[in-house]
């Protein structure tokens, strides 16, 4: 009996141990069953994440396409107006194919079509030429060293490479692109523009370093084209409003008359707009810099002649031709006078 008691006393603790092991096995079995049951849901959730990201990416592409389409509406309106004015000049005001032309009329046709061709070329180059930093990287021996543009410079600050002697530019907080002097971030385009002047909705693009000459030539040739257009259109429109029964006046309808008024209104406004921008060119300022430093001399003023050549190039023959002759790269601007106010980064 003593041996039985000792054997039972030693075997008694084995029961709780077995129970503990059984509970562990049960919990692990339940855990595996739970995981097995939840596996399809977890797998479905994981597979749905790429679908969501792909859906958001597709939606963002659609939004960008809609944005480009909306921004392209003013450009289409300008092209429609130009095309209709060309049609009205030849087939309504000149009666193309119906009457014989004299030398004066042929001269007007030559002037009108030459000016119109230069107008369209300047306009399209202004629309499709980008002045963005990412489309115009710095080239040549003055390239910024990668170690200087690692983001260590803050917004609005700049540094200098002690070995190379050239400037290191900060990065834009909005688009993370390099931001040299005179560059500004355009909220519509979503990127930084070299020597940004303004964002023009009528060209659907930012007017900056690379397309500023094309923009000015577009204004100039628009004025000359409208002037030739007015020489032929105004006498006929005057006859129509005065009620004179002539061979030309009855062919005019209200659409043509309204188009003539709109075209001439554009011509007058563009004349003053071109004068304003030519003044900025001679002052070596942009529209943004004029607002920031009103009344003060531009720190980049090199004299009216060099200021003009900084936009149109040194060759006088190329001034009125819509070809890129800008000698600047948008990165090497240096203040010419210590007492001038240097605009801040934006």
SS3 readout for the chain: CHHHHHHHHHHCCHHHHHHHHHHHHHHHHHHHHHHHHHHHHHHHHHHHHHHHHHHHHHHHHHHHHHHHHHHCHHHHHHHHHHHHHHHHHHHHHCCCCCCCCCHHHHHHHHHHHHHHHHHHHHHHHHHHCCCEHHHCCCCCCCCCCHHHCCCCCCCCCCEECCCCCCEECCECCCCCCECCCCCEEECCCCEEECCCCEEECCCCEEECCCCHHHHHHHHHHHHHHHHHHHHHHHHHHHHHHCCCCCCCHHHCCHHHHHHHHHHHHHHHHHHHHHHHHHHHHHHCCCHHHHHHCCCCCCCCCCCHHHHHHHHHCCCHHHCCCCCCCCCCCCCCCCCCCCCCCCCCCC
Least confident of 138-152, 194-208, 302-316: 138-152
pLDDT tens digit string along 256-265?
Answer: 778 888 889 9
Rounded distance between C-alpha atoms, residue 270 and residue 211, angstroms = 17
**Residue 121 resides in a domain:** yes
172 assigned to active site: no
Q: Quick one: 127 and 236 in the same domain?
A: yes
In this predicted structure, what is the pLDDT of residue 30?
53
User: Are the CB atoms for 116 and 218 separated by under 8 Å?
Assistant: no
Sign of CA dihedral 324, 327, 331, 337: negative
In this predicted structure, what is the pLDDT of residue 153?
40
Domain containing 274 equals 78-134+208-318
User: Are the CB atoms for 170 and 179 separated by under 8 Å?
Assistant: yes
**Residue 276 resides in a domain:** yes
Long-range residue pairs from 295-299, CB within 8 A, at least 24 positions apart, any chain: 296/340, 296/341, 297/337, 297/340, 298/340, 299/335, 299/336, 299/337, 299/340, 299/341, 299/342
Report residue 60's pLDDT band, with 50, 70 and 90 as the boundaries: low
Question: Is 50 exceeded by the pLDDT of residue 323?
Answer: yes
The distance of Cα 266 from the centroid of its chain, to the nearest Å, equals 23
85-105 average pLDDT score: 81
**Residue in 126, 175, 200, 206 annotated catalytic:** 200
pTM: 0.74
Q: Quick one: 16 and 129 in the same domain?
A: no
Q: Quick one: 6 and 92 in the same domain?
A: no
**Residue 171 resides in a domain:** no
Rounded distance between C-alpha atoms, residue 332 and residue 138, angstroms = 10
227-245 average pLDDT score: 80
Question: Is 60 exceeded by the pLDDT of residue 51?
Answer: yes
In this predicted structure, what is the pLDDT of residue 5?
47
Question: Is 70 exceeded by the pLDDT of residue 216?
Answer: yes
Q: Quick one: 110 and 215 in the same domain?
A: yes
Q: Quick one: 40 and 87 in the same domain?
A: no
In this predicted structure, what is the pLDDT of residue 204?
92
**Residue 82 resides in a domain:** yes
Choose between 333 and 270: higher pLDDT. 270
Q: Quick one: 26 and 122 in the same domain?
A: no
89-118 average pLDDT score: 86
Choose between 275 and 175: higher pLDDT. 275
Q: Quick one: 95 and 32 in the same domain?
A: no
In this predicted structure, what is the pLDDT of residue 190?
87
Q: Quick one: 24 and 124 in the same domain?
A: no
Q: Quick one: 126 and 227 in the same domain?
A: yes
Tallying the residues shown for the chain, one arrives at 346
Question: Is 60 exceeded by the pLDDT of residue 213?
Answer: yes
**Residue 300 resides in a domain:** yes
In this predicted structure, what is the pLDDT of residue 239?
75
Choose between 64 and 280: higher pLDDT. 280
174 Cβ contact list (under 8 Å, min separation 6): 185, 190
Q: Quick one: 84 and 129 in the same domain?
A: yes
Choose between 101 and 232: higher pLDDT. 232
**Residue 328 resides in a domain:** no
Question: Is 80 exceeded by the pLDDT of residue 223?
Answer: yes
Token digits of residue 73: 């509406």
**Residue 27 resides in a domain:** yes
Least confident of 217-231, 286-300, 306-320: 286-300
Count of domains in the chain?
2
Least confident of 64-73, 86-95, 311-320: 64-73
Report residue 21's pLDDT band, with 50, 70 and 90 as the boundaries: low
**Residue 175 resides in a domain:** no
300-311 average pLDDT score: 93
First CA to last CA distance, the chain: 99
Report residue 161's pLDDT band, with 50, 70 and 90 as the boundaries: very low
pLDDT tens digit string along 76-94?
Answer: 999 999 999 999 898 888 8
334 Cβ contact list (under 8 Å, min separation 6): 300
Q: Quick one: 35 and 115 in the same domain?
A: no
Choose between 19 and 244: higher pLDDT. 244
The distance of Cα 334 from the centroid of its chain, to the nearest Å, equals 25
Q: Quick one: 215 and 258 in the same domain?
A: yes
Choose between 306 and 46: higher pLDDT. 306
């Amino acid at each position: 009996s003593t041996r039985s008691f000792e054997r039972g006393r030693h075997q008694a603790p084995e029961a709780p141990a077995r129970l503990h092991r059984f509970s562990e096995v049960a919990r692990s079995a339940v855990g595996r069953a739970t995981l097995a049951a939840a596996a399809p849901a977890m797998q479905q959730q994981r597979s749905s994440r790429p679908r969501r990201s792909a859906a958001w990416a597709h939606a963002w592409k659609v939004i960008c396409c809609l944005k480009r389409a909306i921004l392209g509406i003013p450009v289409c309106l300008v092209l429609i107006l130009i095309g209709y004015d060309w049609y009205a000049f030849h087939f309504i005001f000149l009666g193309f194919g119906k009457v014989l032309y004299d030398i004066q009329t042929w001269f007007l046709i030559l002037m009108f079509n030459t000016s119109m061709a230069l107008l369209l070329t300047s306009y399209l180059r202004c629309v499709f030429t980008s002045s963005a930093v990412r489309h115009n990287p710095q080239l040549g021996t003055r390239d910024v060293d990668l170690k200087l543009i690692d983001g260590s410079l803050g917004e609005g600050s700049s540094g200098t490479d002690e070995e190379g002697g050239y400037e290191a530019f900060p990065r834009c907080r909005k688009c993370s692109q390099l931001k040299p002097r005179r560059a500004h971030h355009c909220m519509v385009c979503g990127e930084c523009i070299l020597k940004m002047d303004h964002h023009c909705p009528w060209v659907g693009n930012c007017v900056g370093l690379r397309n500023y000459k094309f923009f000015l030539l577009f204004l100039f040739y628009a004025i000359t084209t409208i002037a030739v257009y007015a020489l032929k259109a105004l006498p006929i429109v005057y006859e129509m409003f005065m009620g004179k029964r002539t061979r030309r006046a009855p062919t005019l309808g209200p659409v043509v008359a309204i188009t003539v008024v709109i075209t001439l209104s554009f011509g007058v406004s563009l004349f003053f707009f071109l004068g304003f921008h030519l003044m900025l060119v001679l002052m070596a300022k942009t529209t943004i810099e004029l607002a920031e430093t009103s009344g003060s001399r531009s720190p980049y003023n090199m004299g009216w002649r060099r200021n003009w050549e900084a936009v149109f190039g040194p060759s006088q023959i190329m001034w009125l031709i819509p070809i890129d002759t800008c000698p600047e790269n948008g990165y090497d601007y240096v203040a010419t006078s210590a007492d001038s106010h240097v605009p801040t980064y934006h």
